[in-house]
Amino acid sequence: MITTNTKSTNNIKKTSDNKESKETLGFEEFKNEVLNDYKLAHLSRHMSVLARREVLNGKAKFGIFGDGKEVAQIAMAKQFLEGDWRSGYYRDQTFMLAAGMTTPKKFFALLYGETRTELNPDNGGRSMNNHFGTRLIQDNGEWIDQSQSKNTSSDISPTAGQMPRLTGLALASKLYREQPELQSFNNYSNRGNEVAFGTIGDASTSEGLFFEAVNAAGVLQIPMAISVWDDGYGISVPVELQTVKANISKALKGFEKQRGDHSGILIFEANGWDYAELCQMYEKGIARCRKEHIPVLFHVKELTQPTGHSTSGSHERYKSKERLHWEKEKDCLVQLRRWILEKNITDEATLDSIESEAKDEAVTAKKEAYNEYLQPIMEEREELNAIIRQKSCVCHKSGEEQINSIVNNLNNALTLNRKEILSSARKILRHVCASCEKPGGLKDQLRKWVARYVENGHEKYNAFLYDESARSPLRITGIAPEYAEDAPLVPGREIIRDNFDTLFANNPRLITLGEDTGKLGGVNQTLEGLQKKHGNWRVRDTGIHEATIVGEGIGLALRGFRPITEIQYFDYLLYTLHTLSDDLATTHYRTKGGQKAPVIVRTRGHRLEGIWHSGSPLSMVINSIRGMYVCVPRDMTRAAGMYNTLLQGEDPAIVIEPLNGYRIREKQPSNWGAFQIPLGIPEVIKEGTDVTIATYGSCVRIAAEAIDQLAEIGISVELIDVQTLLPFDTEKVILNSLKKTNRIVFFDEDVPGGATAYMMQKVLEEQGGFYYLDHKPMTITAKDHRPAYGTDGDYFSNPNAEDVYETIYGMMGEAYPDKFPPIY
């Protein structure tokens, strides 16, 4: 079947003798459609060729393109409707063009790194070329009506990294279709009729993320359509060394859904140069995927890659002459032209003319995009030149020569960019003489210009790591827990459970999913009874696939849900760290505020038993997931309050509940779902005058025990619970304590040089705490290795109350040796 009308799925039927029956589509309309596709395919190819040249001539930094995949992507785009989603990768330019989600000029704006989102809406210069993403967030902070637009989640470079979120995008359709209470959210879905299209290179199917996602989709039975672009290589490595049986379709044969099966996927195969076959395959497969919510895999074989893997190398280095000759013959553009002529759709002269028009259009788009990109940069250079020309003083001869040389190099730069401009201005400042210091003088003007330029650069290149709108969770003020006079003491797990119960009752879009989350109610019973009360779809059990659990959360969040994804233990976060770091944490930043994924990742850690159930690797987290908030509550009331706060905002976060807090009894609040712990504001738990100790999580209780013992011998310690590591102490609570005590200890269970070093840098360097020290700052941490097993293993591996006591005692002993003589 061949159709470009994405509103229709039955325009042309293919007969058994491979001739098209024009039952509902006249020949002229059919002809126009085919020729439009032919032009689009050539337009995309010329864009790839021109873009490669722009990289090689220095106008662009790097290029990776979709040449060789044009015909297959045009066929796929015919089935992509408003409301549908794409989670793809960096070879999808033809699909984006065919689906109307980009233009040739935007393609080149991406290539040049254009920072203005009106010209480069996909990523505002934050990502490489061909990293697409539609803008889901309007300028006023409101979400667009996704049901009336074609949507693509923001691309990332890591191979198969797009797969985890694809499952969530497809799962959202299933939930919107099957849950009556979601019908009113029609700005996110049209009754779940949307398909989530995923694309991936054949070599990347070797990644575990791919198999996780395919397995999860086959179990869930969701409308997920994966296209595998198979050009026979993964850069230089042939498919025989990538995939069992050298064929992903054969490798997945056990996944294939048969009649009567309740799970599984449909598998289709077609050659990437066969226009008619591809159009039929996609129409048939997507129709079933959309109607029946069955996941589908399209294996598109015998593709080529005419310009090589990327601009970093040439495929002639690893492909044989025979292979290169075969690729020229099987080029989808060559085959499409041959098919058109064989079917007498038009003549060679017409096709030549179409190719020429496509090339001219690509050249025009390139020129316009580059001129638009370069114009403001040239104006910025002229601003700097104007300041230099206006200088009235005469600098020392050597300084004058240096300034002239820098200006001359800037004005003759082969490739002009903002780095050259700002670097030149900063270097010129070094050589401006002291006589130019006067107000309005060259040095004064230049300093102010550099400051403004850096500030403008922040918006272009640094801003939007977190949500900066009114929906930021940092704008949520604190509300204290309220307690009845006869409030009982209850186990901490019940605090979490009852607070979640209220949250689920009040928010129909709230959903939680993870291993043992549903029927069991969590391994620590913190969701006990909630699946039965709120439904299997809202309190969901998942398979053991942590990366895909988080990925499902990302996809659901992009489509309007408020997911809480549970990773059973903090140590298991390693399974999904790449998804957290590469995808979730960067979503808002890499789209320059165009997309948000407000996922809350819930886990538990600190102090249990053995190497893989007791970790506290906070430095691993805080240094790899900037763009997410990291909450480290000391008890379950604090944890519940943090969930309440985070759900009022739209930033992603991770909450690490202290394992030893589930059984410890806490006073039962009465304002469930309403009390809120503000992010970034530490709590002073116990005031003191001699030493400040800053810590978090389970260490708070350990520190409190040691502080009570120190008080008995006259040492007064101020105990501060950091509460969140990202953000960290926005009110300078710890600094103000240090001003009083002049001594400080940073304490946690991470490795030496981990989160304690992070806290120290924040307080002593950023906040200026160094100037208030009377003693060198101290850290108390775990050993270099992971904790050994058992009570004794924990004691010898992790810091304990005796370590805290002796560290602080030793600090005081240095100041007052007579009063506090050495213990050892």
Q: What is the reported pLDDT for 22?
A: 41
Whole-angstrom distance between the N-terminal and C-terminal Cα of the chain? 86
CB 361 within 8 A of CB 104: yes
The average pLDDT across 779-791 equals 92
pLDDT band with cut points at 50, 70 and 90 for residue 24:
low
Q: What is the reported pLDDT for 259?
A: 92
CA distance 606 to 616: 5
Can you tell me which residue has the tokens 């801003």?
463
Which residues in 202-263 belong to E strands, given as ranges? 224-229, 233-234, 237-238
The average pLDDT across 510-537 equals 95
Q: What is the reported pLDDT for 390?
A: 80
Which candidate in 42, 299, 578, 613 is catalytic?
A: 613
Q: Please state at what angle helix 418-431 crosses helix 397-411, rounded to 10 degrees.
A: 170
CA distance 191 to 264: 23
Which residues in 456-556 belong to E strands, given as ranges? 489-491, 510-514, 539-541
The average pLDDT across 699-713 equals 97
pLDDT band with cut points at 50, 70 and 90 for residue 608:
low
Segment 718-759, tens digit of pLDDT: 999 999 999 999 999 999 999 999 999 999 999 999 999 999
293 is annotated as an active-site residue: no
Q: What is the reported pLDDT for 121?
A: 97
More confidently predicted of 287 and 401: 287
Which residues in 499-616 belong to E strands, given as ranges? 510-514, 539-541, 562-566, 600-605
Does the pLDDT at position 23 exceed 60?
A: no
The average pLDDT across 783-788 equals 91
pLDDT band with cut points at 50, 70 and 90 for residue 396:
low
Q: What is the reported pLDDT for 314?
A: 85
The average pLDDT across 339-351 equals 96
CB 778 within 8 A of CB 804: no
Which pairing describes strands 717-721 and 683-686: parallel, antiparallel, or unpaired? antiparallel
Q: What is the reported pLDDT for 11?
A: 38
Note the Cα 668 to chain centre separation in Å: 37
Q: What is the reported pLDDT for 605?
A: 87
Q: CA dihedral in degrees (607, 608, 613, 614; nearest 10)? A: 20
Question: Could you give the 3-state DSSP secondary structure of residue 564?
Answer: strand
Segment 224-274, tens digit of pLDDT: 999 999 999 999 999 999 999 999 999 999 999 999 999 999 999 999 999
pLDDT band with cut points at 50, 70 and 90 for residue 13:
very low
Q: What is the reported pLDDT for 93?
A: 97
Does the pLDDT at position 786 exceed 80?
A: yes
pLDDT band with cut points at 50, 70 and 90 for residue 393:
low
Give me the percent of the chain exceeding a pLDDT of 90: 87
pLDDT band with cut points at 50, 70 and 90 for residue 14:
very low
Q: CA dihedral in degrees (211, 556, 133, 100; nearest 10)? A: 100
Note the Cα 493 to chain centre separation in Å: 31
pLDDT band with cut points at 50, 70 and 90 for residue 611:
confident
The average pLDDT across 321-343 equals 96
Does the pLDDT at position 450 exceed 90?
A: yes
Amino acid identity, residue 380? E
Q: What is the reported pLDDT for 247?
A: 96
Q: What is the reported pLDDT for 120?
A: 97
Segment 641-667, tens digit of pLDDT: 999 999 999 999 999 999 989 999 999
Mean pLDDT of the chain: 93
